[in-house]
Amino acid sequence: MLSSAGIALVTLTTTAVLAVAQGCTSNTNAHFNLQAVYTKAPPEGPTSVHLQILHVQTVPRQSWQVLTAGSSSSYTSEFMTNGVLSGTLPSNPMQRTTGIPLAVGETPTFQSLYPYPIGWAGYCLVTTGATSQLAVSGQTDQWALCSNSTAGGRLDVVYSPTSNHPHYNIATCNSVSIELIP
């Protein structure tokens, strides 16, 4: 289809529901909050911390966010649709940020722009009893909170931390599970 200016327009529609990955119990959930629960709590701190999607970079018409236990954030509500993790602003539910591909050793990153990006459909939930945990490929045990040396020591979520990373020292990372709080 061509616009009135002769520019090709592409319209994508889908009604397909993605299959839930092996080991997962769901890939869709309504609004919730996330908390990191330490596998082995630090002796001088809490056993869990609230997580949020924090704005870290903006250029014209788009911005990026990361999942962190650090500073306060305006993205205080998350949701998942067909494995895509997203965040919303309570004051403006139409303003949302969408998860982009996650790599081993990296922090879950989100992008805000319009039209909304399709998002990375690699997240899922694993539910045991009354507890639902965030997972990738059915694995809930690959998360850690790491002190980000390039962001003033902010505690960022990292998926499967690696040695010699430019933003954190693996020795500062603490294993966590990420639980959904309805």
pLDDT, tens digit, 9 for 90 and up, residues 50-69: 999 998 888 888 889 999 99
Average pLDDT of the segment spanning 101-118: 90
Residue 153 pLDDT > 70, yes or no?
A: yes
Supply the pLDDT for residue 20.
60
Q: Which CATH number fits domain 29-181: 2.80.10, 2.30.30, 1.10.3720, 1.10.3470?
A: 2.80.10
**Sequence ranges of the domains in the chain:** 29-181
Looking at 75-119, list the stretches that DSSP marks H as alpha helix, in order from N- to C-terminal side. Answer: none
pLDDT, tens digit, 9 for 90 and up, residues 3-45: 333 333 222 223 334 456 667 888 888 789 999 999 998 788 8
CA 63 – CA 85 distance, rounded (Å): 16
Give the pair of three-digit tokens for residue 48: 């869990």
The CA distances from residue 169 to 109, 128, 166, in Å, are 19, 32, 8
Supply the pLDDT for residue 18.
44
